[in-house]
Structure 1
């Protein structure tokens, strides 16, 4: 919780010092509209994550089974962990800095910088620094996704759509399919075989290339471009 408060405080300070704006410049209002964007984003990446996990299960001939030890309290704690980590990353990569970059150097350059930074950041968070091939793959996948989410921020003029897109993927991936650092949670993979080279490549492409491309298509054709952040008025 302290990390979120610090991230919000720093974001607010940067916006005020550089743009003379409040935290509302990140498109938090109107609440109803922003909540709708958040939920749509959450559902889109959540469903895509489900499809990717079941494709992997099909390729491995494995099954997903319910964890008998799971409880609602554990799910809520895991959701809170996902929410905190996603919110902090959004404030860093799709928050005040991206807003300022867009204002100062334009949306295209700002989005690209955000995407590159997001890809490099995951070298450290995934622990692949020093492994050249893994670094390339991680950079491609997370960089593409970071580009899609930053573009969503730029077009919607709100952090809420990218927040929903990010949380939808992370919550389903980490909590529902137990792929995160918190161990076995809601569903557990049982049985199956190791993926062959072609199956492993197909699985990689589906998760780290196809999903970001589909999100990019959604942002390109279905997210209405707003001309300005009306709620981010000067103090």
Structure 2
């Protein structure tokens, strides 16, 4: 909690020094329109993220069950942890710095710059530095996702919109299903993962289809949002 408060305080200081402004540039006020798009994008993002595991069930014959160690406390703690992690990344990559970049160098360059920072951060967070092939894979998706998230802020001037997409994806991938090394998930493998031989087409379908869908579908939804302009 202190981490987020600190980031918000720094964000306020930066925008105040830049134009004597305040945190209203983050668009945190939950208006009716923002709440509508937040809800839609969060649900869509989470469902598309879940298709990764539905494809694993169908193609790789993986089986899942609800974790026996699941408690209300553990759900609240992990949900908050994912919330804090995503909001931290949003404040760093799509916060007042993106707002200032848009005003200083224009939207296209600002969106690209923000996306590069987002991708580079994930090189560090994912622990793939030095592994060229993994670095390329991580960069390709996180840069593309960064473009989508930065564009969603630039179109709406509300950090709630990219946060909804980001949080829906991360919560599903990192907590609801076992896609990380952590053993703390809502669903866990019911049996040891089966050793199966699948085609390259099937492998890339499981790996890439959800990532492509999240970029396309959420972009089309954001395009329906009336473009917000700033002075």
Q: TM-score, normalised by structure 1?
A: 0.90
Counterparts in 2 of 1:81 and 1:206: CA distance versus 1, 3 Å: same
- Paired residue secondary structure (1:224): coil
- Paired residue secondary structure (1:188): strand
Show the counterpart of 2:227: 225
Structure 2 Cα separation of the partners of residues 34 and 55 of structure 1: 32
The within-5 A match list for 1:1-235 is 1-180=1-180, 182-189=182-189, 190=191, 191-194=193-196, 196=198, 198=200, 199-220=202-223, 222-228=224-230
Counterparts in 2 of 1:179 and 1:226: CA distance versus 1, 3 Å: same
| 5+ long unaligned stretches in structure 2 | none
- Paired residue secondary structure (1:152): helix
Structure 1 Cα separation of the partners of residues 76 and 92 of structure 2: 24
Structure 2 Cα separation of the partners of residues 180 and 73 of structure 1: 20
- Paired residue secondary structure (2:36): helix
Counterparts in 2 of 1:160 and 1:127: CA distance versus 1, 3 Å: same
Structure 2 Cα separation of the partners of residues 119 and 197 of structure 1: 29
- Paired residue secondary structure (1:225): coil
CA contact (8 A) 1:155 1:226 kept: yes
Which is further off, 39-48 or 51-60?
A: 51-60
| 5+ long unaligned stretches in structure 1 | 230-235
Structure 1 Cα separation of the partners of residues 95 and 5 of structure 2: 14
Structure 1 Cα separation of the partners of residues 5 and 181 of structure 2: 23
Count of paired positions = 228
- Paired residue secondary structure (1:184): coil
Q: TM-score, normalised by structure 2?
A: 0.91
CA contact (8 A) 2:119 2:143 kept: yes
- Paired residue secondary structure (1:130): coil
Structure 2 Cα separation of the partners of residues 194 and 144 of structure 1: 30
Q: How much has 1:37 moved relative to structure 2?
A: 2.7
Structure 2 Cα separation of the partners of residues 30 and 65 of structure 1: 36
Q: How much has 1:51 moved relative to structure 2?
A: 1.5
User: How big is each residue's C-alpha offset from its partner over 1:15-65, in whole Å with a ceiling of 9 and x where there is no partner?
Assistant: 111132101111123533333332222111011111222112222111121
Counterparts in 2 of 1:181 and 1:17: CA distance versus 1, 3 Å: farther
Show the counterpart of 1:232: none
Structure 1 Cα separation of the partners of residues 95 and 89 of structure 2: 9
CA contact (8 A) 2:90 2:163 kept: yes
CA contact (8 A) 2:51 2:210 kept: no
Q: How much has 1:71 moved relative to structure 2?
A: 1.1
